[in-house]
Amino acid sequence: MNTSLLVKRTLGPHRYLGALLAILSLIVISSVAAAAPDLLTNGSFESPLVPVGSFTNFGSGSTAITGWTVVGPQASVVSGSFASECCKFPAADGAQWLDLTGDLSNQLEGVEQSVATVAGKTYDLSFEVGNVFDPRGIYGTTSTVDVMVNGTSIGTFTNSCTTCTGALTWQSFSTSFVASGATTLVEFLNQDPTSDNSNGLDKVVLTGAAATAPEPATLGLLALGLAGVGLFRRRRSTEEELARTA
């Protein structure tokens, strides 16, 4: 028997084992780390379009802000190029943002959206709150948002920036909740005093909490791959033994 030919044959498939294991590892990692889809519609308030450099007001019960319903007297979609008195008012994301205070209404008001959920599952909610520091003007000094889930507050979040005297400045916040049913009502309400005419909300994102373990299908694929690796190794051991005794 040609021993050198046999050894060459045994080397062929085995040189790919390392690559196979690497590919399987990447599949498992990607299944855990893949970004979950955003469950909210129009979280950056890009629809409807408002006049550039201006804003549009939406009254109580309005559904004209795509995906959202206005709660309380009024809410306003504002162009990111809007400027007034002390300040410029850029968006945190995209070209527009939402002013929870509306236009001079300055009361308990905001927006809400109902989303499909799974009872018992944890959801992560992130958003940006915009504030200008205008102690002598109409835009106040802090911006506070009350986040409610199914009518119950899960926290108040305050942007208390004191250096943002010339432009709306955004601060990121996040929280989480466990869904109690097949649908969940998420609500953002203005908590600024009536003298404050600016409370920015933008870049609202809701996702299912990241999985801590691979899905069963991924585990099955990994097991299949490892079984194949084991088969290759057993075959290699047998062929090497034959080569030594030939």
For residues 90 and 196, state if they share a domain. yes
Question: For residues 60-96, b (16+ Cβ closer than 10 Å) or e, as one string?
Answer: eeeeebebbbbbbbbbbbbbbebebeebebbbbbeeb
For residues 154 and 228, state if they share a domain. no
Q: In this structure, is residue 68 part of a structural domain?
A: yes
Tens of pLDDT, residues 44-78 = 999 999 999 999 999 999 999 999 999 999 999 99
Average pLDDT over residues 2-22: 49
For residues 183 and 63, state if they share a domain. yes
Average pLDDT over residues 207-218: 66
pLDDT of residue 107: 87
Q: Are 208 and 36 in contact (CB under 8 A)?
A: yes
For residues 167 and 181, state if they share a domain. yes
Torsion of CA 165, 48, 156, 177, to 10 degrees: -140
For residues 62 and 30, state if they share a domain. no
For residues 203 and 217, state if they share a domain. no
Tell me, what CATH number does 117's domain have? Answer: 2.60.120.260
For residues 78 and 141, state if they share a domain. yes
For residues 97 and 114, state if they share a domain. yes
pLDDT of residue 8: 45
> What domain range is 183 assigned to?
55-208
Q: Is pLDDT of 32 > 70? A: no
For residues 181 and 220, state if they share a domain. no
For residues 153 and 64, state if they share a domain. yes
Q: Measured between alpha carbons, how far is 155 from 177 in angstroms, rounded to an integer?
A: 11
For residues 159 and 226, state if they share a domain. no
Q: Measured between alpha carbons, how far is 164 from 31 in angstroms, rounded to an integer?
A: 41
Tell me the C-alpha to C-alpha distance, in Å, between residue 108 and each of 34, 105, 145, 191: 38, 9, 10, 6
Q: In this structure, is residue 45 part of a structural domain?
A: no
Q: Is pLDDT of 229 > 50? A: no
Q: Are 140 and 152 in contact (CB under 8 A)?
A: no
pTM for the predicted model, two decimal places: 0.75
Which has more pLDDT, 169 or 106?
169
For residues 114 and 191, state if they share a domain. yes
Query: Into how many domains does the chain fold?
Result: 2
Q: In this structure, is residue 44 part of a structural domain?
A: no
